[in-house]
Amino acid sequence: MSNPHNNEPIHTDFSKDMTYGDYLHLDKILSGQHRLSEHHDEMLFIIIHQASELWMKLILHELDAARTYILQNNLEPAFKMLSRVSRIQQQLIQSWDVLSTLTPAEYMEFRESLGRSSGFQSYQNRMIEFMFGRKNAAALSVFEHQPELHQLVQGALQERSIYDAAILSLSQHGLPIDAVCLDRDWSQDYQANESVTNAWLTVYRNVDQYWDLYELAEKLVDVDSRQQQWRFNHMMTVERIIGFKHGTGGSSGVDYLRRALDHRFFPELWSIRTQL
């Protein structure tokens, strides 16, 4: 067979070669959608959540590498990775627009098939929040029935967040940071600290001197902002489809999601904007 664009033959014999489908393991990916009802729209529900988990896997891949570079005080490679994370987050934000085409009447026809399964149980979403510094040991309880998974998430709970790494970088650049911020129990939720606020104020008031830290700060604000947009779109989609019903996993649904909107992952990077 000839290629219509350049008259070169197209390779068609893959008896001994890897194909596109082989490389991507499409047989496994595309055979993983199993509806538990006969309802047409359950396929939409499954694929949206599966695709979201794939994007979350890439977010964790990028954040882990970015954190490593920041801990090494090698900030520039982390900028590209954090920029990529914010683009991925945009894909996740837009996915709620697709899911919102599911009407309340349609969802209720297969909701009972979900049993107690819920997005609250997404271990990758939980690890992303841990990576951003929002730690919650109680959230591990839903993974206790899977020891290997529980160990994985527990490990993420006990690691420095990417924001803890950024605070260390502030110190490595000679900015005074309280010792409690540099050596603490990383499994605890991060709390705003005055020394960190003052350090970021110094960075923003002396951009030329601290350009790399300034760039890091803005990349972190990007991903924090996108995560809030994702949370908001999540909340609005849930309210649009189920109103104020409880979630399938037992959460308070919209009320739970609304409370999460009050949390800032990198609080000082937002508070300094009022002080500048």
Binding-site residues, in ranges, read 45-49, 107, 111, 234, 248
Written in H, E and C, the secondary structure of 61-73 is HHHHHHHHHHHCC
Rounded Cα distance between 120 and 115, Å, is 13
* Cα–Cα distance measured from residue 273 to residue 17, given in angstroms and rounded to the nearest whole number: 56
CA distance readout (Å), 118 to 45, 121, 163, 197, 258: 12, 6, 28, 37, 17
Q: Where are the alpha helices (DSSP H) in the chain?
A: 20-24, 26-29, 42-71, 76-99, 104-108, 123-132, 147-157, 162-172, 179-182, 194-205, 211-242, 254-260, 267-275
Report the binding-site residues for substrate.
45-49, 107, 111, 248
**DSSP at 2:** B
Closest CA to 98 of 56, 53, 49: 49
Binding site for heme: what residues are annotated?
A: 234
Q: If you count them, how many residues does the chain have? A: 276
Question: Could you say which DSSP state residue 183 is in?
Answer: S
Q: What whole-number distance in Å separates Cα of residue 199 and Cα of residue 264?
A: 18
